[in-house]
Amino acid sequence: MLQRLRENKSAQGTLLALPTTVWLFVLLIIPLILTLVVSFGKRSPDGNVIYSFTLDNYVRLFGYSTDCPEGQASCFDPLYVNILGRSLSLAFNTTFFVISLAYPLAYFIARAHPKQRNMYLFMVLIPLWTNFVIRVYAWMMLLRKEGAINIILGWIMNALNIPFTPLEMLYTPGAVLVGMIYEFLPFMILPIYTSLEKIDTSLYEAAADLGANSIKTFLRVTLPLSMPGVVAGTILVFIPVMGTFIVSDILGGRQVILVGNLIQRQFLDARDPTFGSAASLILMVLTLIVTYFYTRKFGFGEEIVVA
């Protein structure tokens, strides 16, 4: 038996892939099918699923409403479309700012002395040792009215003799954006660093030798060669930002509702799993579409492996 397995390469492969395949099938494929089935169902008055085939949930998600003023039978309610749009634009903005912050830092680390590089990378990773939710709560402590930022600003303004009223920073879209950027920064720094670190320094010298100054060298050599890292980082950041609800829940309160929050509330508060399922699938499709066009333009980011 063992002897035969040793000789059979394809059986070895199957055996190695088996645990993950089972795992993914049970915990991804089956739930996905269930979600799809439920999303076509109806909610019973007591919050259970009545299995049927209706597109009501999707239609409602895209703005069809029967709850209309002055005897209209139906009208357009932009509530959910707005939530989808807000989630998309937040994901775009977060990715943009994360790239802008991560790239220079990754560049700095990649060009640092090899002995210092590991220390810098270590520092990038330290925040990840603390739980995600706790880190978001920490931002609450910083941003709230009686928080650290307002206290320090108060001291400064007091010293300058300028009247100061504490800023309302918590529960704003800005707070959510800052939280997202903070949470996902390491996932952009690491792949960009990996791709920058792989660039042979003689390429920079070759570019200079051929007449390129440092700006042209960056644009023509460094940036294109580090694009796989940027692409990988973007995938690692954009997709989770689209779906997460913790950051907006804690830092956005009731003010900033994203698709993630919508789905969570449909399942837990509104007790409407059918609508929640439809929203989940739309979120997935939306994410896939964006990722598809993005990777078609920039490739798949060969360095999705985080160093």
Partner 1 sequence: MAAVDHVTMQIKNGEFFSMLGSSGCGKTTSLRMIAGFEWPTDGEVYIEGKAMGHTPPFQRKVNTVFQSYALFQHMTIFQNVAFGLEMEGAKEEEIKKRVGRALDMVQLTGMDRRKPKQLSGGQQQRVALARALVKTPDVLLLDEPLGALDLKLRKEMQLELKALQQQLGITFIYVTHDQEEALTMSDRIAVMSKGKVQQMGTPVEVYERPANKFVADFIGESNFLEGKIKSISKDEASVFIPGLNAELVGVPISEGLVKGEEVNVCIRPEKVRIADKHVVNQNMFHARVTNTVYIGADTHIYVDVNGAKLKVLEQNRISRLDPKSFYTVGQEVWLMLMPENTLVLKKD
Q: How many residues can be counted in the chain? A: 307
At its nearest, how many Å lie between partner 1 and the CB of residue 202?
A: 4
> Assign residue 113 a region: left if phi > 0, alpha if psi is -120 to 50, beta otherwise?
beta
207 or 232: CB nearest partner 1? 207
10 or 201: CB nearest partner 1? 201
Q: Say if residues 236 and 187 touch (Cβ distance below 8 Å).
A: yes
| Range 159-171 burial, b when 16+ CB lie within 10 A, else e | eeeeeeeeeebbb
At its nearest, how many Å lie between partner 1 and the CB of residue 196?
A: 14
- Give me the residue label for tokens 């993914």: 24
Binding site for partner 1 (CB under 8 A): 200, 202-203, 205-213, 216, 220-221, 224-225
226 or 287: CB nearest partner 1? 226
At its nearest, how many Å lie between partner 1 and the CB of residue 190?
A: 21
Cα(223)–Cα(207) distance, integer angstroms = 13
At its nearest, how many Å lie between partner 1 and the CB of residue 204?
A: 9
168 or 205: CB nearest partner 1? 205
At its nearest, how many Å lie between partner 1 and the CB of residue 127?
A: 33
Cα–Cα distances (Å) from 198 to 52, 122, 154, 226, 259, in that order, read 55, 19, 46, 9, 38
Q: Crossing angle, helix 132-143 and helix 173-197, to 10 degrees?
A: 130
56 or 197: CB nearest partner 1? 197
